[in-house]
Chain A
Amino acid sequence: MLHIKCPHCGLRSQNEFAYGGDGTVKRPELNKKVSDKEWDTFVYLRKSPRGKHTELWHHVSGCRQWIKVERDTVTHEIFKTAKVNEDI
């Protein structure tokens, strides 16, 4: 089982969290013209790295905050966690 250190609540079991996917994906800027290619990239394309991965988790059964987690996709080691508005 993963143990994720929520920056608000401390170390908690994975059961309290919901996964939110790749945390590096950026939505094209609001109120600007978006090309099909930009939208396609944002919605569908993912690097899916083998190794370090920055991702979002939702502490849904805890403080209900979204957080950032840096985790290894092979060993599942968690290196760092941060509040969602912080850099990781």
Chain B
Amino acid sequence: MQKYSVFNLIKNAFKGHKDWEVAWKDPTPKSEYDVVIIGGGGHGLATAYYLAKEHKITNVAIIEKGWIGGGNVGRNTTILRSNYMHDENGLFYEKGMNLWKSMSQELNFNVMYSPRGIINLAHSDAQMNAYARRGNSMRLNGIDAVLLGREEVKKIVPVLDFSENVRFPIFGALMQPSGGTARHDAVAWGYARQADSMGVDIIQHCEVTGFDIVNGKAQGIQTSRGNIKAKKIGLCVAGNTSVLADMLNITLPIETHLLQACVSEPIKPILDHVVTFGAGHFYCSQSDKGEMVMGGDLDGYNSYAQRGNLPTLQHVLTEGIAMLPFLSKLKMLRTWGGIMDMSMDGSPIIDKTHIDGLYLNCGWCYGGFKATPVSGWTFAHTIAQDKVHELNAGFSLKRFNTGHLIDEKGLGTKTWIS
């Protein structure tokens, strides 16, 4: 594989940039693989990369219905954080934060990792108490957390609405200084390029139409480009999980819902942190291009549409203007939607299934992007070793039956209520 470096850049500049290798190949599917990963999103690509790198399993195919970077990995708001209270979540996502730190060097691809800090605003004494508790839980798990008072928040993000007569005055905030953002499509491309270089076949425009299961054991898949035998099959298809589960006769604790995001026209640098509104559901950061990147609630009803509806956007942006009044002066540049695999306790599932050789990675709700490296890392371990890693042991499929839910926000099963 050709290394990306300043020297190679200069060398290729003299040749008019005509001799660059393709970042990943476009192979015809082979008839058989050791492992087939369904879904070429961030998690699927990361899983293939870690299967090759950590477990030396390189006879691997990624089967993608669309194209690399076209799904949720290119549709999210790029936020990285591990500010969770429960051990299962905190320790898992913190492992992810460590993988983010070295990702650009490891993948030889600039993912524009920017640990600018994430600030969750609090708007009441009760919320400050809850944040203090969450911050303490985080620190016990070795995650950085700082409780900020109103004046401290004002110093860091003066552009927020600190006027006296607001409906939801800012009391303070919980900050994770190591939280931040990364360029999402670079993450997909970086993992794809490295996985390809280690022998993984990335097969795009190939839709899975069925599974070959014999005597409770996975044998292979049927696709729009022919049948492919596989010893092990990993599902990494986010919002389409229920569709594939239906082919397998499995019913999951998951509903597919639509989440929208949007960006404003680009403006000069004004916000150098990720900030979330505490009295509703709104989050905002500023991209390097200057756009304000925003998101919030689900559209609120089952949807596979990958495009949103205006009432939700209006509701979310009303909260945005309550937090950052200057947003009302900006023009909207783009809005878009992605489909989320909403689990019934808000936490993911990375587990084996009752079918031998079939592994499940789903239930990412709003927060799949930040988990990309650690999801791939633990899922690769689960597939390669045929057993869960201690980091994803809590994310079992059985927990809904045994009562060991990881209900971080205490929302229960009504996934559309956000």
> Do A and B assemble together?
yes
Name A residues whose Cβ lies closer than 8 Å to a Cβ of B: 1-2, 14-15, 19, 21-22, 36-37, 40-41, 43-50, 53, 55, 71, 73-76
B296-345 contacts to A, CB under 8 A, are 300-305, 309-311, 344
- Contact A48:B311 (CB < 8 A) given known A55-B302, A73-B304: no
In the complex, 30 of the A-B residue pairs with CB atoms within 8 angstroms, ordered by the A residue number, are: A1-B310, A1-B311, A2-B309, A14-B309, A14-B311, A15-B311, A19-B300, A19-B301, A21-B302, A21-B414, A36-B401, A37-B401, A40-B400, A40-B401, A43-B344, A43-B413, A44-B344, A45-B251, A45-B252, A45-B400, A46-B254, A47-B242, A48-B242, A49-B246, A50-B242, A55-B302, A73-B303, A73-B304, A73-B305, A74-B304
Which residues does chain A contribute within 8 Å of B311, judged by CB atoms? 1, 14-15
Most A Cβ at <10 Å: residue of B252, B305, B401: B401
A41 CA to B250 CA, complexed, in Å? 12
A79 CA to B243 CA, complexed, in Å? 21
B166 to chain A, nearest CB (A): 24
7 shortest A-B CB distances, which residue pairs? Answer: A48-B242, A44-B253, A44-B400, A45-B251, A19-B301, A44-B344, A48-B255
A84 CA to B51 CA, complexed, in Å? 50
**13 more CB-based (< 8 A) A-B contacts, given A40-B400, A45-B253:** A21-B302, A44-B344, A46-B252, A46-B253, A48-B242, A48-B255, A71-B301, A73-B256, A73-B302, A73-B303, A73-B305, A74-B305, A76-B305
A1 CA to B246 CA, complexed, in Å? 29
A15 CA to B300 CA, complexed, in Å? 11
Q: How large is the interface on B (under 10, 10 to 19, 20 to 34, 35 or more residues)?
A: 20 to 34
Name B residues whose Cβ lies closer than 8 Å to a Cβ of A: 240, 242-243, 246, 251-256, 300-305, 309-311, 344, 400-401, 413-414, 416
Which residues does chain B contribute within 8 Å of A19, judged by CB atoms? 300-301, 416
**A41 and B251 contacting across the interface, CB-CB below 8 Å:** yes
A73 to chain B, nearest CB (A): 5
A55 to chain B, nearest CB (A): 7
**B305 and A75 contacting across the interface, CB-CB below 8 Å:** yes
Which residues does chain A contribute within 8 Å of B243, judged by CB atoms? 50
Which residues does chain B contribute within 8 Å of A73, judged by CB atoms? 256, 302-305
In the complex formed, the residue of B with least CB distance to A15 is B311
Which residues does chain B contribute within 8 Å of A36, judged by CB atoms? 401
A83 CA to B35 CA, complexed, in Å? 49
Give the contacting residue for A53; candidates B254, B302, B310, B414; CB below 8 A: B302
In the complex formed, the residue of A with least CB distance to B398 is A40
B215 to chain A, nearest CB (A): 23
A46 CA to B240 CA, complexed, in Å? 13
Which residues does chain B contribute within 8 Å of A15, judged by CB atoms? 311
Which residues does chain A contribute within 8 Å of B253, judged by CB atoms? 44-46
Which residues does chain B contribute within 8 Å of A45, judged by CB atoms? 251-253, 400
A79 CA to B310 CA, complexed, in Å? 21
Give the contacting residue for A48; candidates B254, B300, B400; CB below 8 A: B254
In the complex formed, the residue of A with least CB distance to B256 is A48
In the complex formed, the residue of A with least CB distance to B254 is A48
A49 CA to B253 CA, complexed, in Å? 13
A14 to chain B, nearest CB (A): 6
Which residues does chain A contribute within 8 Å of B413, judged by CB atoms? 43-44
B143 to chain A, nearest CB (A): 29
Which residues does chain A contribute within 8 Å of B302, judged by CB atoms? 21-22, 48, 53, 55, 73
A71 CA to B254 CA, complexed, in Å? 19
A40 CA to B413 CA, complexed, in Å? 11
A3 to chain B, nearest CB (A): 11
